[in-house]
Amino acid sequence: MKRILAILFLGLLIAQSQAQVNLNHYMTVGQTRIQIGNYTGAIEYFNIVIKFKPYLPEAYFYRGVAKHQLEDYRGAIQDYNKALEIKPFYPRAYTNRGMAYHNLKEYDEAISDYNKALEFDPDNESIYNNRGIAKLAQKNMEGAIEDYNKALEINPKSTYALMNRSNAKIVQGDINGAVRDLNQVIVIRPHYAAAYLNRGLARFEQDDFASALRDYDQSIRLDPKNALAFNNRGIVKHKLEDYAGAIMDYDMALQLNPEMASAYFNRAMAREILGRPGYTNDYKIASQLDPKFDLESRRLDAEQLAQNQQNQQNQNQGQNSSNAQTQQSGNSQSNSSATSAKNNTAQQNNSSGAPPAKNTSQKNNTSSNATDHNKQEDDKENNERNRNRRRRMNLIIEDSRNLPDEEEEEVDDGRIQNRNIVIDLQPIFIISAFDKNDVDYDRFQYYNMAIEDLNEKNNYNPLLTISNKPVAEYLDVFENFILYFNARLEIQKNAHNYLNRGIFNSLTRNYNDALADIDQSIKMDDKSGVAYFTRANCRFKMLHEIETNSGSESEFSIPITQRFSTDDGQQPHANIDYKEIMDDYEVTLFLNPKFFFGYYNRAYIKLRLKEYKSAIEDLNRAIELEPEFAEAYFNRGLTKIYLDDVEGGALDLSRAGELGLIGAYNIIKRYCN
């Protein structure tokens, strides 16, 4: 007996050791994936480590780093918080959390974290650098320069500290001091393109355009893919009235960065000066990318202001004229005064649009006044044009300096947040299937006992699952299953077989047949929550196609009574509306209150009906029942952002991304940061 126990104990030790080795492997692979830029893949590995070792601070820290690189700053902060909760003496976590706060423009929190990090690591130059950047963002120039000086005490050859200090000096107005710092950077690192870029800006501020041009030339030679360098060089050429050369640089900047608003704006100016076509479109694109370049709205605002001022001036002049005329009338005691008053009245009538008196002198006077008025209007228009031109020249000189990154080279390409995606809700879940020999495991997403009961009765062929993945490529398989259940129904007409055939009829878009089968199944067994769930989904699919075919997909109302025609021209047996769908989900959840897909699908319908708060309640319940329900987090995040809860929406989308819906990171970047 002791021998058996010893063998069992030894086996447990070996198993534990193997588990330890495997988790170390996952940590190593996760860190490697961060280094090569596969941030979403890294998160998957750290999720596994956290699942088995939730007390390991490094797993949370590195998952936070991966989210940080995906610009999911709030999600990163949550992970850094957890790491610090487990390990309070963790300077790297404080530093990284400070950087995340900085990216969210929460500078006080960032500085507080940097202060804490310096308590544990007082000789870390990068922390002083970071704190200086945060102070610079708060316009605390003296404090920023003090931190950069401290970093340079620790490392006199810190090019990051020198670069950052030069930035602070430029903002402070100490251009000569900035140039000295940048000269020192170039001595230490002669091939550092960013140093030439920044020195070019400093020399531009000194109106030393020839030197600025040489610096931008060198920056471009060292880094020919830097759009800012081309844009800035174009600005210098623009200043030197080499408009054709400037346009070539702006073209290159836009080729490298098609979303650079200032380059569109600058090119528009140069094209307009040379009379080249396309400048109007460039102004338009610039204003769409950045509202500060929308000169048309600013021109209209200026014109409205000028009009208001002119109206006020006219009113004041009218009052003064009226007062003067009243005084003259009160003092008149002769016929000549009466005649004068008459002439004054005629002149006053003329100014208000009445026909002028037949007086040659008055007529000539009016003509002269009209000429003067036209000249004033022309002068006003020219002045406005010149003011616009000056505004454009002011706008063109942009401070395009970039603070240097901690890494000189950025590994591409795990930054899925930069990819363009179509932003839409995650679709509803339906009962689907795949053959027992199918290896498409990606279609199996969530386990649920209600579906497991159906699979047991089917002897796991077909193998049913719940999924919101597309089904078009499996239509042939589904058609075969319809034939299979036709045969089974000939042998035994029961609720189970009707439900199965209804499921596959719905999957193949035979909605009339599907509804007939599911109705029959419910008549034979009205306690099957899955049957009501399937009927609700089938009805929604019908309605969706009705709306799509009628062009009214973006407008939802209750009820929709338009009839649906299937591919064979048949009409459904009843009008379908959203109320019937909601009723079916209601029964589904009454029969199975823990069926989280029912809450999720019902929330989806509520969102289409613009019942946002009620939808969030359903999504809350779905997440409560299934804490790793990625699609529910995603849809709840979108809804919260729509309701102006950006913080809550960002955290929900972060969780969705963490659980595998990587499109969430794109939305976080575009709408939450």
* Predicted pLDDT at 301: 57
Token pair of 54, please?
């939730």
Give 366 or 165, the one with higher predicted confidence. 165
Residue 311: band (very low, low, confident or very high) from pLDDT cuts 50, 70, 90: low
* Predicted pLDDT at 397: 33
* Predicted pLDDT at 547: 76
* Predicted pLDDT at 582: 95
Contact between 105 and 114 (Cβ < 8 Å): no
Arithmetic mean of pLDDT, 373-402:
41
* Predicted pLDDT at 590: 96
* Predicted pLDDT at 314: 61
Give 86 or 554, the one with higher predicted confidence. 86
Q: Kindly report the CA angle at 340 between 338 and 345, in degrees rounded to 5?
A: 95
Contact between 602 and 593 (Cβ < 8 Å): no
Residue 377: band (very low, low, confident or very high) from pLDDT cuts 50, 70, 90: very low
Report whether the peptide linkage leading into residue 593 is cis, meaning its omega lies within 30 degrees of zero. no
Q: For strand 463-467 and strand 430-434, is the pairing parallel, antiparallel, or unpaired?
A: antiparallel
Backbone dihedral angles phi then psi of residue 430, each to the nearest 5 degrees: -130, 165
Residue 193 has pLDDT above 90, yes or no: yes
pTM for the full model? Answer: 0.72
Residue 392 has pLDDT above 70, yes or no: no
* Predicted pLDDT at 209: 94
Arithmetic mean of pLDDT, 383-400:
38
Token pair of 126, please?
């990068």
* Predicted pLDDT at 414: 59
Residue 346 has pLDDT above 90, yes or no: no
Residue 437 has pLDDT above 80, yes or no: no
Arithmetic mean of pLDDT, 640-652:
94
Q: Please state, in angstroms and rounded to a whole number, the distance separating the CA atoms of residues 471 and 640.
A: 30
Lowest mean pLDDT among 101-105, 145-149, 200-204, 556-560: 556-560
**Helix, strand, coil share (%) of the chain residues, nearest 5:** 75, 0, 25
Q: Please state, in angstroms and rounded to a whole number, the distance separating the CA atoms of residues 663 and 657.
A: 7
Arithmetic mean of pLDDT, 303-309:
61
Give 401 or 545, the one with higher predicted confidence. 545
Residue 178 has pLDDT above 60, yes or no: yes
Give 414 or 469, the one with higher predicted confidence. 469
Contact between 503 and 471 (Cβ < 8 Å): no
Give 386 or 63, the one with higher predicted confidence. 63
- Per-residue pLDDT of 102-112, as tens digits, reads 999 999 999 99
For the chain, what is the radius of gyration of the CA atoms?
36
Residue 151 has pLDDT above 90, yes or no: yes
Arithmetic mean of pLDDT, 198-222:
95
- Per-residue pLDDT of 242-289, as tens digits, reads 999 999 999 999 999 999 999 999 999 999 999 999 999 999 999 999
**Alpha-carbon distance values, 71 to 40, 96, 509, 635, 668 (Å):** 12, 13, 41, 20, 8
Q: Please state, in angstroms and rounded to a whole number, the distance separating the CA atoms of residues 260 and 238.
A: 17
* Predicted pLDDT at 615: 96
Q: How many alpha carbons lie under 13 Å from residue 479 in its C-beta half-sphere?
A: 5
* Predicted pLDDT at 454: 87
Arithmetic mean of pLDDT, 589-596:
95
Query: How many CB atoms neighbour CB 475 within 10 A?
Result: 13
- Per-residue pLDDT of 9-51, as tens digits, reads 445 444 444 445 478 899 999 999 999 999 999 999 999 999 9
Short-list 82, 38, 88, 89, CA closest to 64: 82
Give 596 or 1, the one with higher predicted confidence. 596
Give 548 or 353, the one with higher predicted confidence. 548
Q: Please state, in angstroms and rounded to a whole number, the distance separating the CA atoms of residues 169 and 453.
A: 72
Q: Percent of the chain at pLDDT above 70?
A: 72
**Burial of 123 (C-beta count, 10 Å sphere; 0-12/13-18/19+):** exposed
* Predicted pLDDT at 335: 37
Contact between 664 and 417 (Cβ < 8 Å): no
Contact between 615 and 582 (Cβ < 8 Å): no
Lowest mean pLDDT among 227-236, 238-247, 464-473, 634-643: 464-473
* Predicted pLDDT at 110: 97
Domains and CATH numbers, the chain: 205-306+381-414 (1.25.40.10), 471-592 (1.25.40.10)
Q: Please state, in angstroms and rounded to a whole number, the distance separating the CA atoms of residues 80 and 68.
A: 10
DSSP string covering 103-123:
HTT-HHHHHHHHHHHHHH-TT
Contact between 650 and 74 (Cβ < 8 Å): yes
Q: Tell me what the pLDDT averaged over the chain comes to.
A: 80
- Per-residue pLDDT of 512-523, as tens digits, reads 999 999 999 999
* Predicted pLDDT at 297: 65
Token pair of 124, please?
């870390």
